Structure 1
């Protein structure tokens, strides 16, 4: 009887430790929805704004924007460089946009741009 009881206890301990090990190995796995979540996170990291001026010659946009959380800035109207000159041709005055601005080489720069 003691051997049967000991065998049951050992079996339970092994089963629990094996399942704990397996759960730990899978803890860092993304089990789905990553594309949708990444798109949502990217959108959430963007700021909203309106194009007030397009200066193609200097590669700059004047944007009236909401808070820029990643830069710790309140809502205002500012001039930004663009990372990619092709961004200038994507917008015109009055367009509503979502964008990401970062400090690049000491200048506030639009690094991502999406029209609404």
Structure 2
């Protein structure tokens, strides 16, 4: 029983010292640059081509390049639009720059401009 208690205490000591060591190593990291990179990636525009405009459903089908802020490869997919007025700005075949974000579990175009 005494050996079990000693083993538990030693295990806890190792875990605490490892955590403290890791936290100490993070003191030299520039956390602001990571936040800035995340913000710039989120606001950077992706490129695509409108394949379908579904005004009744409030959706666009876009053939797009990589979506870096969502960590997605190039593909064709359907997006909701944040503002229904975006749908009247484009037609099938238009080349666009856009920002898509995940909002309430749905991929949503939040910014849109024709090229």
1-structure distance, mates of 2:110, 2:65 = 16
TM-score, normalised via structure 1 length: 0.62
1:19-75 per-residue CA deviation (whole Å, 9 max, x = no partner) reads: xxxxxxxxxxxxxxxxxxxxxx69x81000000000000000000000000000000
Superposition map of 1:6-25 within 5 A: none
2-structure distance, mates of 1:85, 1:52 = 17
Q: CA RMSD in A?
A: 1.5
Spell out structure 1 runs of 4+ moving beyond 4 A: none
Is 1:54 aligned to 2:63, yes or no? Answer: no
Deviation at 1:90, TM superposition (A): 0.3
TM-score, normalised via structure 2 length: 0.63
Q: Can you give the 5+ residue segments of structure 1 that lack an aligned partner in the other structure?
A: 1-40
Superposition map of 1:28-107 within 5 A: 45-107=44-106
Is the partner of 2:87 in helix, strand or coil?
helix
2-structure distance, mates of 1:51, 1:104 = 21
2-structure distance, mates of 1:63, 1:73 = 13
2-structure distance, mates of 1:45, 1:88 = 21
User: Greater share of helix residues, 1 or 2?
Assistant: 2
Is 1:111 aligned to 2:107, yes or no? Answer: no
- Report how many residues are paired: 75
